[in-house]
Amino acid sequence: MSRNRKPVRIEILPNHMARLKPFLPELQDRLMNLAVEFSASGPFGHALESIYTDTFVERLREWHYHAKSQKSQGILVQRLPLGRIPEVLEWLEEQGYDVELHDLRSDSPNWCIEHDWRKRVPRKLHATMVAVAAHRALRLIGSHTESIADTCLAIARSYPSARIAIGVSTHRQLRRIADRLRGQLEGEPFGIYTSKRKRAARVSLGLIRHLPRGNNGQCDLLVLPFVHETLGDSALERIVSGRYRRIVSFTPFRLCTDRNLSLRLEVVAEAVFPPPKTRIPISAVILPAHGTKPETQFANPFEAKNALYWQNRRRNRRIAEVARQLLLKTKRSIRSIGIDDDDVVQFIQKAAKTGVTILVETPVHARELAKELPGWAISIAGELTVAKAKAGCGILTTELAAYETVIRAGILIRATGTRWPLADINWPWVDDVAHGILIDFRDEYHPSAKTDAASRVEYYRENGICVYEVKSGKPEPQKAIP
C-alpha cells in the first residue's frame, strides 16, 4: 500500500450486500438516486417533485466493542449494491484511494460441479455454466420460459448435490416453470412451496413469499426466473436475507428504462451474461413511401403523428408490402421494392436471412400495421409473455419494447416517421450478419413528413451510416455500401 494513498475497504457480505468503510460523504453524493415523490397538496389534491434519495446506498453505523475501554464505538460505513461496485472502484482509484476488496461470501461443500458436467449440459449452455460458476450473483439475459427452465435443469445436473430454490411471484409463473421441469430431474423428487403445499426437496420451486426461511446459508442457490417481476420490498428483503449463498436471475432485457427497477437489479446481480457485443455496421436504404396527404391542419404534434404515420393507411400498406417482399429473401422480391443495384440487393438478401422487424413508436401504430400483416407478432414493453410470430412472419415492436430486449433480425424497417434520431436500441445484435440493413422512407406526401424524413437521413449521414436512396423509381446511391 502506498504511503501517500488513503486506504479504504469494501466488504461483500454473505447476504450479497456490500459496505465501504470509512464512510466518504463525497462518494454518497455521487451515488444518490433521482426519484419522484408525491405529496397531498395543490389544486388537484396531489403534487409531485423530483428528489434525491439514498435508497440502497444508505449511510449506516457499525458498532465495535473495545475490550480495553469496555465501550462500544460506532463508525459510519457506506452501503453498496453489488452492481455499483465497479463504478465505485473506478472512482476511488481516480481519487487516489488504496482499495481493499474482500468477498466474505462462501460456498457450502454441496456446491461442487461434476467432472463430466459438459456431457450433462447442452453445448449451447456451456458458456452459461462457466459464468454461473464464476459469479455468485449473476443476471442472465433470457426471455423464453423454455430456455430459462433448461438453464435451471443444466445447473441442477451440473451440481447434483447443491440445494437449489427457484422463486417466482405468481401462480401463473410457477405453473409455467413447473410444467417444464416436472419429470426432468432423472427420478429425483421435485419440491413445491405455495400457501397450500409445502414439499421439500433438493430442487424446489415456489412462490418466493412461501419459500422456507431456514438458517443463513442453508440454500446454495436461489434462481429468479422472472426477477423483474419479483423485486417488491418484501421479496427483496428475503433475497438479501443471507439465506442464499448464490443468486442467478433472468431478465428479457439488458438495460431497463425504469430507474427504480434498475436499482433493484443492481442489488441482486454483480454481473450480466452474456456481456455486451460489439455492434456491427449499419447501412440505410431510403425508399419512397406513397402516403396519403391529410387535408386538415394539425392542432398538435399528437394529431400530426396520428394522421401522417400511425393511421396513414396508404403508407402502412407500403411498409407492409416492403416487409413481405423482404421476408421472401429472393433477389426478385428485393428488386420489386425499387432496388436495382446488385451489390445492395446482395447485402439485403444476406441480412434478410435472419429475419425482418418493423420498429414503431406506439402500440396504436403496431396494431394498424398488424392489420396488413397477419401472422406477425406485436412486442410491447411490460408484457408478461414474449411475442412469437408465425412461420414466415416477423415482429412488430415498439421503441420501448426494443429498448428492453435484443432485436434478432438483420433488417429493421423503421416505420416510426418523425424527425428524431434512431432510438438507442440493441440492434444490430446478431452474429451471422456482417451488415445491418435499416429501411426508412422518404415521406414526400406532406411537407411536414418530408422535412422529418430529411432530418432522419441527415442524422444517418452525420453518424457514419451509409445511405442509399431510391428516387423516382431509380436508385441513386449517395455512397456505396461497403
In this structure, the answer to whether residues 337 and 406 fall within a common structural domain is yes
Same structural domain, 405 and 458: yes
| Angstrom distances, CA of residue 112 to CA of 124, 133, 241, 336 | 21, 10, 23, 59
Q: Is the pLDDT of residue 179 over 50?
A: yes
* Residue 112 in domain: no
> Looking at the domain assignment, is residue 109 inside a domain?
no
CB 320 within 8 A of CB 374: no
Q: Which residues contact 120 (CB under 8 A, 6 or more apart)?
A: 114, 154, 157, 158
- Give the pLDDT confidence score for residue 474 in this predicted structure: 46
Above 50 in pLDDT, residue 1? no
* 197: CB partners within 8 A, 6+ apart: none
What is the identity of the amino acid at 62?
A: E
Among 211-215, 269-273, 406-410, which is the least confidently predicted range? 211-215
Q: What is the DSSP string of 40-85?
A: S-STTS-EEEEEEE-TTS-EEEEEEEETTTTEEEEEEEEEE-GGGH
pLDDT at site 360: 96
Dist. CA 465–CA 375, nearest whole Å: 32
Of the three residues 222, 248, 273, the one that is the final residue of a domain is: 273
Q: Same domain for 242 and 359?
A: no
Query: Is the pTM value of this prediction over 0.85?
Result: no
Range of the domain at 332: 282-477
Q: What is the CATH number of the domain that holds 211?
A: 3.40.50.300
Amino acid found at 164: I
pLDDT (tens digit per residue) in 358-373: 999 999 999 999 999 9
Across the chain, mean pLDDT equals 87
Q: Are residues 266 and 222 in the same domain?
A: yes
